[in-house]
Amino acid sequence: MLRGRAKQAGKLMVQGTASSVGKSLLVTALCRIFALRGIKVAPFKAQNMSLNSFITSQGHEIGRAQAVQAEAAGIDPSCLMNPVLLKPTDECRSQVIVNGVVYATLSAREYYRKKPELAQEVANAFKTLAKSYELVIIEGAGSPAEINLRAHDLANMGLAEMIDAPVLLLGDIERGGVFASLFGTFKLLKRREQRRIKGFIINKFRGDPDILTPGIAEMELLIGRGCLGVLPWFTPEIDEEDSLSERLRPSAPRKGGEPELDVAVIRLPFLSNYTDFSVFDLFPEVELRYADQPETIGKPDLLILPGSKNTLNDLEFLRSSGLFGHITRLRGAGVPIIGLCGGFQMLGRLVRDPLGVESGLGEAAGFGFLDMETIFEEGKRATQTRVRIGETAARAGLARGAKGLELSGYEIHMGRSFSRQGALPPFAMDAQGSGEGAVNGDGTVIGSYLHGFFDNVDFTSILLNNLRRAKGLAPKAAPALSYADFRRGAYDRLARTVETSLDMEAIDRIIADRR
């Protein structure tokens, strides 16, 4: 068992045969396993590409997965854990976040030219982080076998060599061809890179693992590395960051069944922070689903317009897909709507981007459900926020009865929204008396910049009970657990599942050999 504090932090890196094979989940599990042993452990991912991000207490933006991993480790998230974050703004460009703040919006070619400078930022971040911890669990990105990207790599083997880290190679059997993907990945690596791989792990297996024994034995002979475990297929109860998540598959409303409330989230092409809706796992009576076509929306009890990294492009998608007109008709039929961040901006009459901050589209008309407009500016608001629901918002509609309730979350946006005709009723107020979000006259349309809006379980329970009353259903008590307690339990269950499936003694030896 790994114990004690060494002069140099222990290191262990998880790389995968492809995106969405379970790297983030495995790193989260390992952080929890070692934290429960009493070891001071931290996560690290040099370069993350994701529209799911988080704001630390210092106001720095990092990948949501690293915030989750830090929480599993029992520590505060820091920008040191994810020094480079890429947030795609269109098919060719990404906003680049370095050390938690906006660096530039770059094309892939421009980004590659910056790699030497960014590599130094990554090295400095890791060195600083490692000084404060006994062990750092490092997550790769995509696959190390992308041979066209090898010269510019600072996320996989390039990073492993930079910090001298041993590597575990993870493959996903759910996709099929797991032995081919493990073998092919290993063989496409250079000899010195192959030496860094200390073992392989198979993820998402259904059934009797003994069935895999002949294949595992042959794979061990072929690459000269042992199998460190077979992880079973299970549904994670924690936030995921990958756009390939099962949660995001569009679905139509079920015919009948147990759920009392139907909540539809519009799946936008530039959907961001869909983890805002993970909290609905606490409410089994709610069917939360994603829709990207008019025919899959149905007539939900609540419609949600989520965050977007490119509000103007996503508004264009809504129009071209027919969703814009369908949503307008649903609103006319009385369906309540909540918009978060970019979705909030869409609820207004106009969205303007005169400086091309997000796109070159200039401006676009919004739904006009709230009498406001939004203008994009170069400055980005990134902060943790606490607000209290105001009297106007709590009089009727979705937030009825929630007056004075405190909500906490975080903001990440470059737009500024304001009323066109005098004062638009704020949804909530901060301690300084400034309004956050907006609400219409009868409380059936709410907009907010607050990510983590629904994580405030007492408020979400009130909101869902107001939806129940509108359907003639009896209210329900709020869940006994807070969402924070639910997440802690989920980390513990994940850790137990993974720890019993891995050869942890072998993993301890791999870490100890590099200390």
pLDDT at 5: 45
All residue ranges of the chain with pLDDT < 70 are: 1-7, 240-258, 422-423, 514-515
Q: 116 exposed, middle or buried (CB, 10 Å; 0-12, 13-18, 19+)? A: exposed
pLDDT at 4: 45
Q: Retrieve residue 143's tokens.
A: 């696959």
Instruction: Pick the closest to residue 169 from 137, 141, 138, 197 (CA basis).
Output: 197
Phi and psi, residue 262, nearest 5°: -110, 115
- How open is the CA angle 79-81-86, to the nearest 5 degrees? 70
pLDDT at 253: 67
What are the DSSP calls for 321-340, one per residue? TTHHHHHHHHHHTT--EEEE
pLDDT at 422: 63
> For the whole model, what pTM was predicted?
0.89
Domains in the chain, please, with CATH? 10-238+488-513 (3.40.50.300), 261-472 (3.40.50.880)
The DSSP H or E segment spanning 459 is helix 457-470
pLDDT at 318: 97
Q: How far is CA 498 from CA 31, 173, 220, 230, 261, in A?
A: 11, 16, 21, 9, 34
At 372, the amino acid letter reads M
At 68, the amino acid letter reads V
State the Cα–Cα distance between residues 360 and 169, nearest whole angstrom.
41
Please say whether the beta carbons of 129 and 122 come within 8 A. Answer: no
Distance of CA 327 to the CA centre of its chain: 26
pLDDT at 435: 85
Phi and psi, residue 437, nearest 5°: 75, -170
pLDDT at 1: 46
* Active site residues per annotation: 341, 451
| Crossing angle of helices 178-187 and 213-223, rounded to 10° | 10
